[in-house]
Amino acid sequence: MNSLELRKKFIDFYISKNHKEISAAPLLAENDPTLLFVNSGMFPLIPYFSGERHPSGNRLVNSQRSFRTDDIEEVGDGRHTTFFEMMGNWSLGDYFKEEQLNWWYEFLVEVLKLDINRIYQSVFAGDDIAKKDNESIIILKEIFKKYGITAEVGPETISDGNKGPNVDIDFNKYKIFPYVDKNWWKRGDAVGELGGPDSETFYDTGRIHNPKYGEHCHVNCDCGRFIEIGNSVFMQYKKDVQGWKELSQKNVDFGGGLERIVMVSSGLQNIFKTDLFSDYIDYIEKKSKKRYEDFSSSFEIVSDHVRASVFLIADGGVPSNKDQGYFVRRLIRRALVHLRKLDVEFSAFLDLSKLVIEKMSPVYPDLKKNKGVIVEAISDEIDKFSHTIENGIKYFEKIKHVDGLISGEDVFNLFTTYGFPFEITEEMAKEKNYKIDKKDFYKRIDEHRSISRKGSEQKFKSGLADTSEFTVRLHTATHLLHESLRRVLGTSVQQKGSNITPERLRFDFFCPRKMTQEEITNVEKLVNEQIHKKLKVYCEETTPDRAKSLGAIGLFDHKYEEKIKVYSVGGSLESTKDVFSKEICSGPHVENTGDLGNFKIVKEEAVSSGVRRIKAILEKNE
């Protein structure tokens, strides 16, 4: 079964169970400063787990493009990717464990025809927050029994889930395995975060256990024999100052990796042998005149990174040295390093990106629409990196060594100052029979990352997801700012992204030039006029077509749900008089602009070609 068929079967299956398909969110997280990238389907749905009504109802399904930075170094083992699609279904206070687990197994066994004998399940073993998930165990035993299997509960893992129970396991007898740390999902540890026990599904790929990962294999073992293909999170807790408390409603948040499910349903042991990657692997083989099996790691890194780069750029990521752009640049340059190892010209990466656009456009039409932007961004980055390599080589030639050992400091300087990847430095060192002081280099890298991480945590803490009073006020001010920019600069202004903390708002928008001081003053004045008018903020649920016909601002090239929310300032959606702005948004907002305070722009700057950024604050009224 190819990826197009499987993706459609998943969506159709849950639609048959009265779910509504919702649109996927862009990869670059908007209005959530706690998150650089959308890394699962649930993040755009955070408000609805706590009781807010979703316009499409309480049963939802989609396939969400996702990106995880933590997996960059893991790519190359045949089963990890940075970019992936997460197929998801959700119950917002509707069905719970019984329906979720039964439907999921129905889809796996009866729709995909997977071998039930190769499927295993983990459950929450219990701790001081919540009890052992005996309810799921009972349900799972009945499910396995329905398919002719007596499912026993295996040994528990109450310590390190990566190590497992540390005993020999009879996988013919045991099908259900309790873990503590592996089966409690939480968004974070801050007050207001959501969480709950989860139940993960594993598929036995048939690989032989590698003892280097431990004497005994288990379903969470890193040897690769068992691969996780889905996770049903029973989202029923929220953290307050006293600890985890039950939510007013019980939710289901399911996510299953498309790439992995395509792999197992195709009888394969390697994600990169599926139709999702086969065209890229074939192209690299032809260009390099090398076999994939002989250079699998480099082939996989290039194939994964080109997919990720194309999607990140299409969703607004621009290669740079900061924020999301840092990861776009890192992906492209890392892939170019591995093309160089394969003796393939850098231009092949551009050809591969066009192949990604062609292959994925039937599912994601925005790729074709943004082809020019994607190709230009990648071409520019290839040119810059080609220049970087020349400068880096010159620096490398001047490096002094002591008894054939290059200092970690010099290698670190190559990395940070010239953007020179460690892999290339190591390769050139080997050519000269030099060694690198790796210990010192990695120590400096860890210190560098620690400083960057602290800065990132400071920058992205306390975002819109916490729905605090100050954040909500700034969110409403962002709507006023957006409309004011359109009135001062013209309707070609379009939001590119936003980042809101309790202290300030950050708003990115399309504009080909720097704003004049007069324009900045006029925008600021226009926003404050709406605040002083104490305008009422209206919220209405409607269809995208109706919202557009009534003048609401939105990304109408994107696929919206059947029902969306529109926030109007100064009048209802139907009103034509005295309405300042109408914008599609999931909220939340204040009820009256008089609650905001004095609006002040503190900075206007360039982000990238054609994109400007405004930072603004709200001052308390005297």
Q: Which of 456, 482, 505 is the last residue of a domain?
A: 456
**Chosen domain end from 272, 291, 316:** 272
258 and 283 part of one domain: no
Residues 304 and 225 reside in one and the same domain: no
Same domain, 59 and 206: yes
Q: In this structure, are 22 and 47 located in the same domain?
A: yes
The answer to whether residue 145 is domain-embedded is: yes
Residue 393 lies in a domain: no
pLDDT digits (tens, 9 = 90+) for 17-51: 999 999 888 888 665 555 678 888 787 788 889 88
Please check whether residues 258 and 162 belong to one and the same domain: yes
Whether residue 224 lies inside any domain: the answer is: yes
Residue 219 lies in a domain: yes
Q: Are residues 509 and 436 in the same domain?
A: no
- Same-domain status, 560 and 414: no
Q: What CATH number did the domain enclosing 486 receive?
A: 3.30.980.10
The closest alpha carbon to 133, from 48, 240, 232, belongs to 232
461 in a structural domain? no
User: What is the model's pTM?
Assistant: 0.73
377 and 418 share a domain? no
Q: What share of the chain is helix, strand, coil (3-state, %, to 5)?
A: 40, 20, 35
User: Is 587 within the bounds of a domain?
Assistant: yes
- Name the residue range of residue 498's domain: 467-619
CATH code assigned at 99? 3.30.930.10
Residue 8 lies in a domain: yes
Rounded to a whole number of angstroms, the CA Rg of the chain reads 26
Residue 461 has pLDDT above 60, yes or no: no
What per-residue confidence (pLDDT) applies to 45?
A: 85
- Count CB neighbours of 215 within 10 A: 11
Between the two ends of the chain, the Cα-to-Cα distance in Å is: 66
Separation CA 576–CA 486 (nearest Å) = 18
Q: Is residue 392 part of a domain?
A: no
- 13 beta partners: none
> Do 29 and 142 share a domain, yes or no?
yes
Q: CB under 8 Å to 241, separation ≥6 — which residues?
A: 191
Q: Out of 198-207, 549-558, 571-580, 592-601, which region has the weakest mean confidence (pLDDT)? A: 549-558
Domain's final residue, options 386, 417, 432? 386
**One domain, residues 111 and 223:** yes
Q: Which one-letter DSSP state was computed for residue 110?
A: I
For residue 415, give the H/E element and its range: helix 408-417
**What tens digit of pLDDT does each residue of 69-116 get?**
877 888 888 888 999 999 999 999 999 999 999 999 999 999 999 999
Q: Is the pLDDT of residue 518 over 60?
A: yes
**Whether 25 contacts 88, CB under 8 Å:** no
- Our count of domains for the chain comes to 4
605 has pLDDT over 50: yes
- Looking at the structure, do residues 493 and 589 belong to the same domain, yes or no? yes
Please tell me whether residues 258 and 332 are part of one structural domain: no
Chain segment 358-417, per-residue pLDDT in tens? 999 999 998 998 899 899 999 999 998 888 887 888 888 888 888 899 999 999 988 877
